[in-house]
Structure 1
Amino acid sequence: MTRVITYGTFDLFHEGHRRLLERARELGDHLIVGVTSDAYDDSRGKLNVAQSLVERIRNVTASGLADEVIVEEYEGQKIHDIQRYAVDVFAIGSDWVGKFDYLRDYCDVVYLDRTKGISSTKLREVNGGGVIRLGVLGSGRIASRFVRESKFVSGVNVEAVWSRRHARAIEFAEDFELQWANENLEDLLEHVEAVYIATPHGTHVDLARKALAAGVHVLCEKPIALNRADLEEVYALADEKDLILLEALKTAFSPGFQRMVAIARGGTIGAIRSVDATFTKLVKGGRELKGPDGGAISELASYPLLAITKLLGDSPSAVTTRVFQPEDSAVDQFARIDVDYPDAIATAKVGLGVKAEGELVVAGTRGYLYVPAPWWLTEYFETRFEDPRDNRKYYYKFDGDGLRYELAEFVSMIRDGSRESFKLRRADCLAIASLIERARSEQVRFG
């Protein structure tokens, strides 16, 4: 007898799950299916699982394809299960190619082709919502990271891609086994419920308008708009169409950053009087260094301005910007944005051609809060006081590239019909857009 084993969350059991189990079953005589526990899903960064473990086991059992169902509870269990159940073949979806090659020391490893284009008529309905079909606009680095991260968010399936270069879209679809590589944006919008926009900044507003006009929810990379008026316009269109428009500013949705803001604003360090946030990276070429929409401010300022806005509010009293732009550069390469409030001051420093310590320091009347570099991937921070015995350290998970957090929030908003997330309010985004607009237009240049 040939014994086969496979694993998965199997949330919102759909046709793709069924086909994977059917192909796994064809590899042997006895199929064992491991269903991940809630605790294990949490530990490996799986988000938005809608069904309980009992419901998910029931889904697999009801398919009639599993001879045996077990629970996967911890990292490393696969090796133990393979030996315990005398497994001959380990089978898993092809989106994990290479990940489980280490199991070849214990059994055969087979990567099964991913199911393309899950039929929406066969999706299991849960709380009025099934699996959301999503399209990606753009085919660059961030789009690639997004598709990989989407595997860790339950209730969504990336099915299509559109790019300004169709040949690149075809390659992207092949790399990630997507059903469609659409040459025309209109074609993509016809067969998805939502899109993720990961194109250059200057294209965001126009693409968001087209998607919303077509009745499609939008998750758009930061910044959605480089000025407040454009952002207000697309928010108004989203409201008119009763759709979700969310800015993909990943830091805002990460557990560590949310907790940091709550502790700082909750009075632990007293009244906040100063926020200093820095984000720099060295870039040798690419769209970031090209005008008119490139530069350190448009590329990076959203992050420190998010921290400033969340900690000090969305109504600053004054903004002053100094930028370094070499004569041979089309864009600013370093900028310092000073933001004044009635009772506090803040500084955001960003750079594409200058490297600095990427830390966040929040000064208060009782103590201060320190987040080490890279603070925008918040995993750890400290509260520090005059008496060091009062200091405290905080640790939080930040899984993968962090894009799963923004996608999970987006999916939850669609399911719940929520227009706004408390993690990133419209007022926050409008304030950031205003600050970026002012920083780009009202500045003192040197260099």
Structure 2
Amino acid sequence: MTRVITYGTFDLFHEGHRRILERAREHGDHLTVGVTTEQYDEQRGKLNVRQSLMTRIENVRASGLADEIIIEERDGQKITDIQKHGIDVFVIGSDWTGKFDYLGSYCRVVYLDRTAGVSSTELRAADGGILRLGIVGAGRIARRFVPESKYVSGVEAVGVCTPHRSSAEAFAAAHELSFATTSYDDLLDRVDAVYIASPHDAHVPQTRAALAAGKHVLCEKPIALTGADAEQLYALAADRGVVLLEAIKTAYSPGFVQMVALARSGSIGEIRSVQATFTKLVEGNPRERHADGGSTRELASYPLLAIAKLLGTDVRDVQRDALTLPGSEIDDYARLTLRYDGAIGTAVVGLGVKAEGDLVAAGTAGYLYVPAPWWKAEAFELRFEDPSRNRRYTSRFDGEGLRYELAEFLSLITHGRTSSYKLSAADSTFIASTLEQALAQPPLGAAPAPVAAIA
């Protein structure tokens, strides 16, 4: 007898799950199915699992395809299970290609190609069904987003839209999506929601068109570059009764949410200053360095998010000091200063200048320190005059962090809410308005070439 084993969460059991089990059975005479616990799913970064362990086990049993069902609850268990149950073949979906090659020392490892078009979208239930998500754009962020989406239960990326058919088809093939199109209207007709990861100047018109069509929208930052555009988009979303959420991943990460709550609870007294820096060195001529890019457009949303969350949105004045380096068309470095009544926020961003990427919130009783990269907030400290009172906190930041924004987006839709406290319409509008004011102030000209030393 040839014994086969496979594993999964099997949340909202659907035709795609059934097909995997059927194909797994083809590799032997006896199929053992491992179902993951909620705790293990959380440890491995799987978010938004809706059904209980017992419900998921019962759904697998009801399929009639499993000869035996076991529970997976810890790392390293697969090796033990394979040895304990005398397994000959380990089967898993192609999403995990290469991940379990180490099991080849214990049994044969088979990665099953995904059957195009056979997925959770085929069981779209009225209550708690699978959200069909369309991807707009095929650039770097979209390529990172689709793999992250697989860690969020209840949603499936099904199609992609770009202006160029070759890039759309290549993206769809690489990520095993059901379709590719160059028509935005076609995409909207075939999905429930869109993730917009196109160039900045396309965010507003694409978001507006999707909202008008009654689709939920998760839009990459910046959602808009003017306060008026942001206000109009959120008003349209409210009118159509759909969710509009800006995809600033930091806002939804567990560590950042905890950090904001602790700082705003009075633990460091009244916050008088927030300084946040986000810089990276970008080589060549990628999108960030095009005319509609630059440090302020590309990166300022992150520190402005922190400033908004820690100091609020009632700012009196915005000042930008920006620098354009030789041979560049955009601001390679910028410092934004936001003046409040009784507080100052400072955002430092750079694409051609590197600085320490930390965050410091200074209070009247102590200060908050988040080391680089603060936008992940995997660890932070509350520090005081008396060092014995210092406290250090740690949190998770799984993968690229994009799963957190998608999980929040899906949660809002599932529970019939249209606003998130983690990043509200007011927060996004504040960021857009601040960017508008900052970008209206031209950067300094290109720095002069260094003077040669006199021999």
Q: TM-score, normalised by structure 1?
A: 0.97
Deviation at 1:445, TM superposition (A): 2.2
Is the contact between residue 12 and residue 124 of structure 1 (CA under 8 Å) also seen in structure 2?
Answer: no
CA gap 1:120/1:107 in 2 versus in 1, 3 angstroms:
closer
User: Is 1:438–2:437 an aligned residue pair?
Assistant: yes
For 1:345 and 1:187, the matched residues in 2 are separated by 47
Aligned residues: 445
Aligned to 1:68: 68
For 1:376 and 1:165, the matched residues in 2 are separated by 33
Deviation at 1:246, TM superposition (A): 0.5
Deviation at 1:71, TM superposition (A): 0.4
User: Is 1:366–2:365 an aligned residue pair?
Assistant: yes
Is the contact between residue 160 and residue 180 of structure 1 (CA under 8 Å) also seen in structure 2?
Answer: yes
Deviation at 1:239, TM superposition (A): 1.7
For 2:122 and 2:224, the matched residues in 1 are separated by 37
SS in 2 for 1:266: helix
Deviation at 1:235, TM superposition (A): 1.3
Give CA-to-partner distance per residue, 1:49-75, whole Å, 9 cap, x none: 000101110110111100000000001
SS in 1 for 2:444: strand
Is the contact between residue 121 and residue 132 of structure 2 (CA under 8 Å) also seen in structure 1?
Answer: no
Gap runs ≥5 in structure 2: 448-455
Structure 2 counterparts to residues 158-237 of structure 1, below 5 A = 158-237=157-236
Aligned to 1:260: 259
SS in 2 for 1:110: strand
Is the contact between residue 15 and residue 120 of structure 2 (CA under 8 Å) also seen in structure 1?
Answer: no
Is the contact between residue 273 and residue 363 of structure 1 (CA under 8 Å) also seen in structure 2?
Answer: yes
Deviation at 1:122, TM superposition (A): 4.8
Deviation at 1:369, TM superposition (A): 0.6
Aligned to 1:103: 103
Is the contact between residue 47 and residue 154 of structure 1 (CA under 8 Å) also seen in structure 2?
Answer: yes
SS in 1 for 2:367: strand
Is the contact between residue 320 and residue 443 of structure 1 (CA under 8 Å) also seen in structure 2?
Answer: no
Identity between Structure 1 and Structure 2 (%)? 62
Deviation at 1:214, TM superposition (A): 2.0
Structure 2 counterparts to residues 30-429 of structure 1, below 5 A = 30-118=30-118, 122-123=122-123, 125=125, 128-284=127-283, 285-291=285-291, 293-326=292-325, 328-429=327-428
Deviation at 1:120, TM superposition (A): 7.0
| Ranges of 4+ aligned residues in structure 1 off by more than 3 Å | 118-122
CA gap 1:394/1:326 in 2 versus in 1, 3 angstroms:
same
Q: What letter corresponds to residue 389 of structure 2 in structure 1?
A: D
Deviation at 1:116, TM superposition (A): 2.9
For 2:124 and 2:183, the matched residues in 1 are separated by 30
Give CA-to-partner distance per residue, 1:107-152, whole Å, 9 cap, x none: 11111122333467852748x2201111101111110110010111
SS in 1 for 2:177: coil
For 1:26 and 1:190, the matched residues in 2 are separated by 36
Is the contact between residue 45 and residue 398 of structure 2 (CA under 8 Å) also seen in structure 1?
Answer: yes
Is the contact between residue 14 and residue 124 of structure 1 (CA under 8 Å) also seen in structure 2?
Answer: no
Is the contact between residue 116 and residue 159 of structure 1 (CA under 8 Å) also seen in structure 2?
Answer: no
Give CA-to-partner distance per residue, 1:410-446, whole Å, 9 cap, x none: 1111111111001111111111111111111035525
Deviation at 1:238, TM superposition (A): 1.3
Gap runs ≥5 in structure 1: none
Deviation at 1:163, TM superposition (A): 1.1
Give CA-to-partner distance per residue, 1:301-347, whole Å, 9 cap, x none: 00000000000001111111100013532110000000111011111
Deviates more, 1:166-175 or 1:319-328: 319-328
SS in 2 for 1:5: strand
**RMSD value, Cα:** 1.3
CA gap 1:167/1:444 in 2 versus in 1, 3 angstroms:
closer
Give CA-to-partner distance per residue, 1:59-117, whole Å, 9 cap, x none: 10111100000000001111110111110110011111111111111111111122333
Is the contact between residue 271 and residue 366 of structure 1 (CA under 8 Å) also seen in structure 2?
Answer: yes
Aligned to 1:24: 24
Q: What letter corresponds to residue 44 of structure 1 in structure 2?
A: R
SS in 1 for 2:406: helix
Q: What letter corresponds to residue 275 of structure 2 in structure 1?
A: D
For 2:66 and 2:169, the matched residues in 1 are separated by 36
